[in-house]
């Protein structure tokens, strides 16, 4: 059924800019404080109070805009979006309408459909256009439960009122839920790389609304769009889109007409519910905000921001593949956050073995970080330390097996690889004479196994290797052990 | 003691010489206010705050410390500017119990300069009106004839100054709300250039038009108060950082060579003959003093009233959205849903004129009408601005009547909003163009009502207005004390 239809999705992302103070006053943007403690006449919308634009918001918006290849307008205008709601203290939200901060951007990123178990089927590069990014203030929060008299009252917390947001509106360029998913993931990463947004959907500092429609494959005119809200995680976003696509197809197939409306995703029921139809839609009566002059951004300032832009995640991913011969998957994982990518590249340098660095980080270190709930930026084993450890493997001072144990110990204690290895009784033993001597003893004390081996049970090689490792306290060089014991088991047999 | 016998500076000199106590001045002012309660000029008096401030001035005088420029000057504040802890109603029932937690920049500046704030003056609700009959706290009466209006919306401030309760007062002027009541009560009223004075703490009506300015009984006092409140305020993004000129010094200059523009559009139908004669004779006085009179044209004047009533109401419809009963002020109690709480609160809390303007402004901004109304009004507004720019190529100051008529009777225009709106026909252009204007008394009608002359200047050229106004004031030398007992 899906094949008959083409899906059209557009996304509106609200990204909370991580400034210290609010967009139009000096109140703190800190999350989780006592309700209404971070407020003043301006963000409470008291009569007579006036907004003053926080320049840090402009700087961060410029970073975000450039990261998304948007053109920053030299002059943009703030407008009032008028509507009544208890958590909107002025009765209007200061936003941008006619002339937004920036327009006409794009990202070109890998995207893929997923199979039933959620694995990517085939990554392809695709360009998604971005219509605009504009600046606005957040509203407060209505609290309907959890307060003393919640049964009979609703409460309002205005700590969030006036927190700066960048609203990023895409073109309707997504043809599946996974494309939308990959785009939002990328957007989050780009905003984190440029250090302008924490990108946490669950905490609400990245919020997403979607416009969804379907049309018969090959049609030129888009179908009637439905707006989806309450998509509070990446998973919800993808699932809600899937549900909504199915719902629309089922409706059309049964001869119904799609009505333009806003629907809310309900995670518990895994369904979308109608919130309001177009007929009830707001007329926001936008008009230019007379309390704020036009926002003028100079070419010098844009240039300054351009200079301070970090390498963006997609560019970095491609470079990592190129420069370190990484697999696309590894490169994607290693560029998930800027700190991860920084950590990787520092380890690659320190170890002089980029491939191995990628493996150690992704297979071993990430597991330890996950188990202890630690961010890589706070990893007890630093990039230099991990690099030194990898060097020790490469110069055969320690074996890979030893290194695994050593890393766990280094992670626990914060000690260097040298300290840990010496505590383990020293580096690996590669001296052939010593290993031969050890082998002689192992063979001598296991005559029955020797007998069986020699009568053809060659799987017993593993047993002898194990005995060797045990006898050496894990320090014997496994390659040398393998070679020597095999040689002795077979060679001495021939002699006898 | 009679406040009208002093200028701000002469009073300060007497206090400095310890011949007069600021506290005595303050008491005298409070007594007069009590005596004249029938004029209804004040909504709230602030005797404690005033006496405390006055006592500090006396202390400074006794200690021989230098006194600030407004030391002991009793000043009244229109009730649409907030003072921390002092009830601020904006003339509306919806704020009947509102005590703001912060103070407007202008009030802070006045107090820092030694002013004694005596109270909050009555005004049309949210500054919407031309007669002061739209106050939820009753109309203000004109001291020249108590059957007549004092003008609006800053009627209370005008009357407080005219009757000598205060040496000066602050008003706000969105379409003439300082100049028109100044004209109707025989005082000086100054609307500065948009952006000259901070609006922080002024309860907004039409944000792109609102400007705070002084009332006083002399050009000199108005200039002095203006020099204190003018200047960049970092917390008002629309306030200008243009340097503040020496307004007081400007009063001393002469007008030789000054080109006075007389726009024919301001002398057409609807202008009272006595007002015309008085204004023309004042202009003649300027000519006698060496100024040149030039005929000028402001061709888009006829659109000013409709343009103003689209832009001001559009902004007001948004500015007044915050009065919803949720956080402060009046809340209708009998509502059972959010929507009915909003509508009942706003229905019962706002007066008829405010509701009319909110509806008008909401309509002007509505989808499908925006371009035809608000958008077009903005375009015509820029034509009006251009008119002034062109005119000021030919002249340095423009002279017009302030109001087409002298004070009208209470109730005379309350049933006809359009007629009422025309009271501002000569004043609203200055707000639309953002240019400064001053009204000063220039004569009386045959039945003894004051007449005002309006002077309009270039943006940020308040000094020329002060200079011209001061010269006329001295040349005409009117007795502007109203027939009030004790004056």
**pLDDT tens digits, one per residue of A242-268:** 999 999 999 999 999 999 999 998 888
Give the span between the Cα atoms of A467 and A454, in whole angstroms: 17
Contact B106, B197 (CB under 8 A): yes
pLDDT for A320 equals 95
Which residues, numbered 330 to 389 in chain B, qualify as contacts with chain A under a Cβ-Cβ cut-off of 8 Å? 338, 342, 362, 365-367, 370, 374
Same domain, A329 and A467: no
Average of pLDDT values for A55-77? Answer: 97
Same domain, A381 and A462: no
**Radius of gyration of chain A measured on its C-alpha atoms:** 30
Average of pLDDT values for A363-390? Answer: 92
Same domain, A440 and A473: yes
Q: Do B317 and A285 touch (CB under 8 A)?
A: yes
Touching check for B268 and chain A: CB below 8 Å?
A: no
Which residues, numbered 145 to 164 in chain A, qualify as contacts with chain B under a Cβ-Cβ cut-off of 8 Å? 156
Q: Do A84 and B324 touch (CB under 8 A)?
A: yes
Contact A96, A79 (CB under 8 A): yes
Percentage above 70 pLDDT, chain B: 100
pLDDT at A414 over 90: no
Active-site annotation holder among B177, B218, B240, B423: B177
> Coil, strand or helix: which one is A438?
helix
- Residues of chain A with Cβ-Cβ distance to B314 below 8 Å are 287
Mean of per-residue pLDDT scores for chain A: 91
Q: Where are the beta strands (DSSP E) in B136-193?
A: 168-173, 188-191
pLDDT for A282 equals 79
Phi then psi for residue B263, to 5 deg, are -85, 120
Note the CATH number of domain B3-265+272-297+387-476: 3.90.1300.10
Same domain, A418 and A447: no
Q: Quickly state the pLDDT bin for B109 (edges 50, 70, 90).
A: very high
Average of pLDDT values for A190-218? Answer: 92
Q: Is B177 known to be catalytic?
A: yes
pLDDT for A425 equals 74
Q: Closest-CA residue in chain A for B342? A: A84
Q: Do A287 and B366 touch (CB under 8 A)?
A: no
Q: Which of A245, A280, A300 is the last residue of a domain?
A: A300
pLDDT for A278 equals 62
pLDDT at A88 over 70: yes
Q: Which of A423, A452, A479 is the last residue of a domain?
A: A423
Same domain, A377 and A451: no
Residue A135 lies in a domain: yes
Number of CB atoms found within 10 A of residue A233's CB: 15
Which residues, numbered 57 to 96 in chain A, qualify as contacts with chain B under a Cβ-Cβ cut-off of 8 Å? 80, 82, 84, 86, 89-92
Residue A76 lies in a domain: yes
Looking at per-residue confidence, does A279 or B274 come out higher?
B274
Average of pLDDT values for B111-136? Answer: 98
Same domain, A71 and A136: yes
A266-278: b (≥16 Cβ within 10 Å) or e: eeeeeebeeeeee
- Residues of chain A with Cβ-Cβ distance to B81 below 8 Å are 48
Touching check for B457 and chain A: CB below 8 Å?
A: no
CATH number at residue A471: 1.10.10.410
pLDDT at A456 over 90: no
pLDDT for B442 equals 98
Same domain, A397 and A439: no
- Residues of chain A with Cβ-Cβ distance to B95 below 8 Å are 47
Q: Closest-CA residue in chain B for A36? A: B327
Give the span between the Cα atoms of B362 and B311, in whole angstroms: 11
Residue A494 lies in a domain: no
Q: Closest-CA residue in chain B for A84? A: B321
pLDDT at B431 over 70: yes
Q: Is B153 known to be catalytic?
A: yes
pLDDT for A492 equals 53
Same domain, A32 and A153: yes
Q: Do A91 and B199 touch (CB under 8 A)?
A: no
> A453: domain range?
432-489
Question: Considering only A416-430, A448-462, B67-81, B126-140, which range has the smallest mean pLDDT?
Answer: A416-430
pLDDT at A279 over 80: no
Q: Which of A393, A423, A453 is the last residue of a domain?
A: A423
Same domain, A38 and A166: yes
pLDDT at A496 over 70: no
Same domain, A102 and A182: yes
Average of pLDDT values for B42-49? Answer: 97
Q: Do A47 and B365 touch (CB under 8 A)?
A: no
For residue range B330-362, list pLDDT tens digits in order: 999 888 899 999 999 999 999 999 999 999 999
pLDDT at B461 over 90: yes
Q: Is B78 known to be catalytic?
A: yes
- Reported pTM: 0.91
Residue A496 lies in a domain: no
pLDDT at A388 over 50: yes
Touching check for B210 and chain A: CB below 8 Å?
A: no
Give the span between the Cα atoms of B124 and B205, in whole angstroms: 11
Residue A42 lies in a domain: yes
Touching check for A45 and chain B: CB below 8 Å?
A: yes
Percentage above 70 pLDDT, chain A: 98
Same domain, A374 and A481: no
Touching check for A287 and chain B: CB below 8 Å?
A: yes
Instruction: Tell me which DSSP letter residue B443 carries.
Output: E
Total number of domains constituting chain A: 3
Instruction: Tell me which DSSP letter residue B4 carries.
Output: G
Q: Do B237 and A292 touch (CB under 8 A)?
A: yes
Q: Is the peptide bond before A404 cis (omega within 30 degrees of 0)?
A: no
Q: Do B199 and A45 touch (CB under 8 A)?
A: no
Give the span between the Cα atoms of A294 and A283, in whole angstroms: 24
Q: Which of B207, B314, B342 has the CB atom closest to A291's CB atom?
A: B207
Cα torsion through A38, A40, A42, A43, rounded to 10: 30
pLDDT for A494 equals 43
Give the span between the Cα atoms of B207 and B356, in whole angstroms: 18
For residue range B205-258, list pLDDT tens digits in order: 999 999 999 999 999 999 999 999 999 999 999 999 999 999 999 999 999 999
Same domain, A98 and A193: yes
pLDDT for A450 equals 85
Contacts for A457 with CB less than 8 Å, ≥ 6 apart: none
Q: Quickly state the pLDDT bin for B448 (edges 50, 70, 90).
A: very high
């Amino acid at each position: 059924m899906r094949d008959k239809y083409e899906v059209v999705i557009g996304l509106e992302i609200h990204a909370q800019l991580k400034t210290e103070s609010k967009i139009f006053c000096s109140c703190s943007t800190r999350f989780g404080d006592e309700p209404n403690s971070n407020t003043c006449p301006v963000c409470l919308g008291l009569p007579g109070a006036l907004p003053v634009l926080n320049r840090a918001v402009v700087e961060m918006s410029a970073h975000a805009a450039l990261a998304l290849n948007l053109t920053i307008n030299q002059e943009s205008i703030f407008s009032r979006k008028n509507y009544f709601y208890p958590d909107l203290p002025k009765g209007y939200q200061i936003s941008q309408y006619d002339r937004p901060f920036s327009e006409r951007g794009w990202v070109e990123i890998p995207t893929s459909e997923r199979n039933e178990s959620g694995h990517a089927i085939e990554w392809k590069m695709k360009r998604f256009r971005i219509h605009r990014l504009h600046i606005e203030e957040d509203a407060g929060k209505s609290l309907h439960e959890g307060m003393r008299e919640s049964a009979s009252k609703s409460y309002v917390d205005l700590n969030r009122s006036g927190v700066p947001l960048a609203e990023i509106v895409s073109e309707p360029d997504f043809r599946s839920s996974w494309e939308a998913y990959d785009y939002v993931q990328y957007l989050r990463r780009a905003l984190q790389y440029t250090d302008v947004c924490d990108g946490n959907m669950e905490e609400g500092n990245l919020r997403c609304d979607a416009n969804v429609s379907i049309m018969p494959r090959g049609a030129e005119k888009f179908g009637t769009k439905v707006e989806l809200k309450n998509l509070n995680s990446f998973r919800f976003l993808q699932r809600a889109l899937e549900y909504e696509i199915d719902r629309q197809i089922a409706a059309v197939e049964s001869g119904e007409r799609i009505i333009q409306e806003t629907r809310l995703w309900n995670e518990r029921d895994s369904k979308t519910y109608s919130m309001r139809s177009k007929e009830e839609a707001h007329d926001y009566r936008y008009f230019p905000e007379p309390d704020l002059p036009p926002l003028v951004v100079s070419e010098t300032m844009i240039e300054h921001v351009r200079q301070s832009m970090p390498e963006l995640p997609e560019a970095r991913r491609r470079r990592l593949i190129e420069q370190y011969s990484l697999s696309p998957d590894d490169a994607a994982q290693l560029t998930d956050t800027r700190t991860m990518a920084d950590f990787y590249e520092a380890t690659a340098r320190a170890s002089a073995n980029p491939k191995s660095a990628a493996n150690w980080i992704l297979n071993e270190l990430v597991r330890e970080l996950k188990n202890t709930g630690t961010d890589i930026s706070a990893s007890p084993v630093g990039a230099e330390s991990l690099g030194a450890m990898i060097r020790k493997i490469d110069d055969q001072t320690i074996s890979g097996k030893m290194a695994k144990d050593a890393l766990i110990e280094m992670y626990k204690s914060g000690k260097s690889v040298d300290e840990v290895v010496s505590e383990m009784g020293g580096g690996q033993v590669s001296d052939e004479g010593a290993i031969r001597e050890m082998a002689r003893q192992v063979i001598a004390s296991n005559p029955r196994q020797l007998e069986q081996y020699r009568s053809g049970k060659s799987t017993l090689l593993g047993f002898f290797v194990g005995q060797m490792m045990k006898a050496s306290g894990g320090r014997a060089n496994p390659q040398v052990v393998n070679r020597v014991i095999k040689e002795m088991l077979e060679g001495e047999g021939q002699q006898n | 003691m009679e406040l009208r016998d002093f200028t701000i500076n002469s009073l300060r000199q007497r206090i400095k010489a310890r011949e007069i106590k600021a506290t005595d001045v303050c008491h005298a002012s409070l007594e007069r206010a009590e005596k004249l309660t029938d004029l209804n000029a004040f909504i709230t008096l602030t005797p404690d705050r005033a006496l405390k401030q006055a006592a500090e001035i006396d202390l400074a005088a006794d200690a021989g410390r230098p006194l600030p420029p407004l030391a002991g000057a009793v000043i009244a504040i229109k009730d649409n500017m907030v003072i921390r802890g002092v009830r601020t109603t904006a003339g509306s029932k919806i704020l009947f119990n509102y005590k703001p937690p912060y103070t407007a920049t202008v009030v802070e500046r006045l107090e820092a300069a030694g002013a004694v704030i005596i109270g909050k003056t009555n005004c049309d609700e949210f500054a919407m009106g031309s007669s002061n009959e739209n106050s939820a706290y009753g109309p203000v009466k004109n001291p020249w004839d108590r059957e007549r209006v004092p003008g609006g919306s800053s009627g209370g401030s005008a009357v407080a100054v005219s009757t000598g309760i205060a040496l000066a007062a602050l008003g706000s002027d969105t379409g003439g709300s300082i100049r028109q009541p100044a004209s109707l009560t025989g005082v000086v009223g100054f609307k500065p250039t948009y952006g000259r004075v901070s609006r922080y703490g002024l309860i907004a009506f039409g944000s792109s038009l609102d400007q705070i300015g002084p009332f006083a009984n002399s050009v000199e006092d108005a200039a002095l108060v203006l020099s204190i409140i003018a200047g960049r305020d970092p917390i008002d993004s629309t306030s200008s950082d243009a340097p503040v000129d020496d307004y007081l010094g400007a009063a001393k200059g002469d007008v030789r060579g000054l080109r006075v523009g007389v726009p024919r559009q301001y002398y057409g139908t609807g202008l009272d003959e006595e007002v015309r004669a008085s204004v023309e004779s004042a202009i003649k006085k300027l000519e006698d003093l060496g100024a040149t009179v030039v005929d000028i044209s402001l061709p888009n004047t006829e659109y000013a009233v409709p343009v103003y009533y689209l832009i001001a109401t559009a902004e007001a419809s948004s500015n007044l959205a915050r009065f919803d009963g949720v956080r402060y002020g009046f809340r209708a109690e009998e509502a059972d849903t959010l929507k009915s709480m909003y509508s009942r609160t706003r229905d019962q809390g706002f007066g008829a004129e405010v509701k009319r303007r909110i509806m008008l402004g909401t309509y002007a901004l509505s989808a499908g009408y925006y371009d035809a109304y608000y958008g077009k009004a903005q375009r015509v507004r820029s034509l009006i601005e251009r008119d002034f720019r062109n005119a000021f190529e030919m002249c340095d100051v423009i002279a017009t009547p302030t109001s087409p008529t002298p004070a009208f009777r209470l109730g005379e225009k309350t049933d006809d909003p359009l007629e009422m709106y025309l009271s501002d026909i000569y004043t609203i252009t200055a707000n639309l163009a953002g240019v400064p204007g001053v009204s000063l008394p220039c004569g009386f009608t045959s039945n003894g009502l004051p007449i005002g002359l309006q002077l309009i200047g270039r943006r940020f050229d308040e000094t020329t207005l002060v200079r011209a106004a001061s010269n006329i004031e001295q040349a005409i030398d009117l007795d502007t004390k109203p027939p009030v007992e004790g004056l």
